Chain A
Amino acid sequence: MLTLDRAAKRFPNGYLALDDISLGIGEGEIVGIVGASGCGKSTLLRLLAGLERPSAGAAAYGGAPLAGPRDEIGVVFQEPRLMPWLSVEANVAFGLRHLPAAERNARAGETLERVGLSHFAKSLPRELSGGMAQRAAIARALAARPKVLLLDEPFSALDAFTRLALQEHLLELWSYDRPTFVLVTHDIDEALALADRIVLMRGHPGRVHREFAVDLPRPRSRTSPRFLAWKEEVLRELHVTAAAGRTAIAAPLLRAAL
């Protein structure tokens, strides 16, 4: 449904952040994207969101080229990005401009309740903790009910307990009406617990290193032997990419030294 075909992204400063990425995301799929810091995960997500155009190759949604952001595609950024002058409630309603006011408020209220922020509806973003702000940002994306939700490390600022609760919540949403999730994460456990498929990236330039189809049955136990075996395998591959990344960084230094 959402695809990248041999997409590359070169920034105006000449840096090649992504190279030759082909990726298909099916309807109702949960795709986890993991990789070391700086390997291009956020850039990949921005291509999928239509916020950046690939400098080579193509991005498409539903078979048609992706020319810009679309109503069907929601984004949770790596930072909360709340409007500091709007109340939490108004921030959650930010993407519901097209709805009549009554429905907008109802939906914002309902979504806030889901992320446990009802009591802070009238607060300003500066009165929220980092994790609460991130929950408000997740609520803003959920309130618009996108078909595809792109999440850029949405839970990394949260404590373990809230993180688990929100992961459960994503799964609940998913089991209910099968939206599509693309979840960038640093957390292998998170990727294994949620994703149907894990895309492991390596950086400089960012490429798909390997894809894993996670065949663990749901609901998944994070302590089952099969889960742990999966974790070991993904971690092993991650080390391979990390080693590759180190040599990629070290090579020019070595050349300079010689």
Chain B
Amino acid sequence: MPSAPSIVRLPGAGAPRMAPRALPRLSFPAGLLLPLIAAAAWEFAAARDWLPSNLLPAPSAIANTLAVLARSGELGEHLVATTLRVAAGFAFGVAAATLLGALCGAVPLARRLLDPSIQGLKSVPSLAWVPLFILWFGIFETSKIILIAVGAFFPVYLALAAGIPGVDRKLVEVARVYRYSTAALVRRVLLPAVLPTYLIGLRSGLALGWMFVVAAELMGASQGLGYLLVDGQQTGKPAIVIASIVLFAVLGKATDLPLARAAARALRWQDGFKQHAS
């Protein structure tokens, strides 16, 4: 219907554009309050000798241990070793999960063939793979990275395999009316619609990656935070153990933060009851 004859004026035509609702900001300072207070109380108690320092050293002693490790360059090596393992395992796990998840989500035949097996494998507690991986891939990097990949795989796979069939049929139909090709349908409708679940899957996958790197490094490593944990235990240095735990918390949070930020940005369109980037 080329160029309409005239313009119909309707209510709302003169209304100003609404300001988009402000996103809830990440309230980092408020979130830090509790750990800081806890640390202060702990320090105070330790200074009064209320706590057994051979089991629960003061925060200052832990900080000191960290500083010593950092100065010797040892800390950096452990951090890099662990982070690289998580990065590699996460990358492989996510790549495989994205491929298989998209396949099973979008192609019913693939779903019928593959999904039951994958779901079956999912119910094996992942740590049960450890002995097998060690037998197959040895005690070195390969088995560790595969274990982490297995951990990251399932949440991401599930997000896609369950998320894609859950996309609103009515929106898919709109794309059909405008005769979108399958590729265009995937890119313009399915992907954006499934992005929220996918990002949640990625975040859970990353959290599991951090969990599994500990298991992987506990089973034998000469470097990494998990090794540091074992070392602290065997040499009877609780400060080192607690320092490693704190470092895990910091690393986990630090790597989750960009994903949480990306999720908050990508999901601006969602009309949720209060969105939190936590």
Q: Which residues of A contact B (CB under 8 A)?
A: 49, 51, 68-71, 74-75, 77, 79, 81, 83-86, 94-95, 97, 110, 113-120, 122-127, 132, 135, 142, 144-145, 161-162, 165-166, 168-169, 172-173, 175-177, 179
Rounded to whole angstroms, the CA-CA distance of A110 and B12 in the bound complex is: 16
Those of B1-41 within 8 Å (CB) of chain A: 1-18, 20-21
Map CB proximity to A onto B98-126 as digits: 1 under 8 Å, 0 otherwise.
00000000000000000000000000000
Not counting A85-B193, A125-B269, A179-B1, a sample of 18 additional A-B residue pairs whose C-beta atoms are within 8 angstroms of each other reads A51-B176, A69-B178, A75-B177, A77-B170, A83-B171, A83-B188, A85-B269, A94-B174, A94-B178, A97-B178, A97-B188, A113-B7, A119-B13, A119-B16, A119-B17, A162-B10, A169-B4, A172-B6
Q: Is the beta-carbon distance between B13 and A74 smaller than 8 angstroms?
A: no
Rounded to whole angstroms, the CA-CA distance of A74 and B179 in the bound complex is: 11
Map CB proximity to A onto B237-278 as digits: 1 under 8 Å, 0 otherwise.
000000000000000000000000000000011110000000
Q: Which B residues are CB-close (under 8 A) to A75?
A: 177
* A136 shortest CB reach to chain B, Å: 11
Number of B positions contacting A (CB below 8 A): 39
Q: Is the beta-carbon distance between B11 and A119 smaller than 8 angstroms?
A: no
Q: Is the beta-carbon distance between B4 and A126 smaller than 8 angstroms?
A: no
If A79-B170, A173-B1 touch, whether A127 touches B10 (CB-CB below 8 Å) is no
Taking a contact as CB atoms closer than 8 A, the residue among B11, B16, B20 that contacts A116 in the complex is B11
Q: Is the beta-carbon distance between A135 and B177 smaller than 8 angstroms?
A: no
Q: Does B184 sit within 8 A of A, measured CB to CB?
A: yes
Rounded to whole angstroms, the CA-CA distance of A92 and B252 in the bound complex is: 42
Q: Does B192 sit within 8 A of A, measured CB to CB?
A: yes
Q: Which A residues are CB-close (under 8 A) to B268?
A: 124
Taking a contact as CB atoms closer than 8 A, the residue among A81, A85, A119 that contacts B15 in the complex is A119
If A117-B12, A127-B20 touch, whether A84 touches B270 (CB-CB below 8 Å) is yes
- Taking chain B's interface residues, is the majority helix, strand, or loop, or is none over half, making it mixed? loop
Rounded to whole angstroms, the CA-CA distance of A162 and B11 in the bound complex is: 7
Q: Which A residues are CB-close (under 8 A) to B170?
A: 77, 79, 81
Q: Closest A residue to B18 by CB, please name it.
A: A127
* B8 shortest CB reach to chain A, Å: 5
A-B contact pairs, 10 of them (CB 8 A): A51-B176, A84-B269, A84-B270, A97-B188, A120-B12, A126-B269, A127-B20, A162-B10, A166-B10, A176-B4
Q: Which residues of B contact A (CB under 8 A)?
A: 1-18, 20-21, 170-171, 173-174, 176-180, 184, 188-189, 192-193, 195, 268-271
Rounded to whole angstroms, the CA-CA distance of A227 and B246 in the bound complex is: 80
Which residue among A71, A84, A110, A166 has the maximum number of chain B CB atoms within 10 Å of its CB? A84
Q: Is the beta-carbon distance between B18 and A123 smaller than 8 angstroms?
A: yes
Rounded to whole angstroms, the CA-CA distance of A75 and B4 in the bound complex is: 19
Which residue among B1, B2, B16, B21 has the maximum number of chain A CB atoms within 10 Å of its CB? B1
Q: Is the beta-carbon distance between A49 and B177 smaller than 8 angstroms?
A: yes
If A81-B174, A83-B171, A168-B8 touch, whether A118 touches B13 (CB-CB below 8 Å) is yes
Q: Is the beta-carbon distance between B14 and A119 smaller than 8 angstroms?
A: yes
Rounded to whole angstroms, the CA-CA distance of A84 and B271 in the bound complex is: 9
Q: Is the beta-carbon distance between B10 and A173 smaller than 8 angstroms?
A: no
* A239 shortest CB reach to chain B, Å: 33
Rounded to whole angstroms, the CA-CA distance of A14 and B1 in the bound complex is: 40
If A126-B271, A172-B4, A172-B5 touch, whether A51 touches B173 (CB-CB below 8 Å) is yes
Q: Is the beta-carbon distance between A71 and B11 smaller than 8 angstroms?
A: no
Rounded to whole angstroms, the CA-CA distance of A185 and B150 in the bound complex is: 55
* B148 shortest CB reach to chain A, Å: 32
Q: Closest A residue to B181 by CB, please name it.
A: A97
Q: Is the beta-carbon distance between A124 and B20 smaller than 8 angstroms?
A: yes
* A125 shortest CB reach to chain B, Å: 8
Q: Is the beta-carbon distance between A132 and B171 smaller than 8 angstroms?
A: no
If A123-B17, A175-B5 touch, whether A144 touches B178 (CB-CB below 8 Å) is yes
Rounded to whole angstroms, the CA-CA distance of A69 and B16 in the bound complex is: 37
Q: Is the beta-carbon distance between B12 and A74 smaller than 8 angstroms?
A: no
* A52 shortest CB reach to chain B, Å: 10
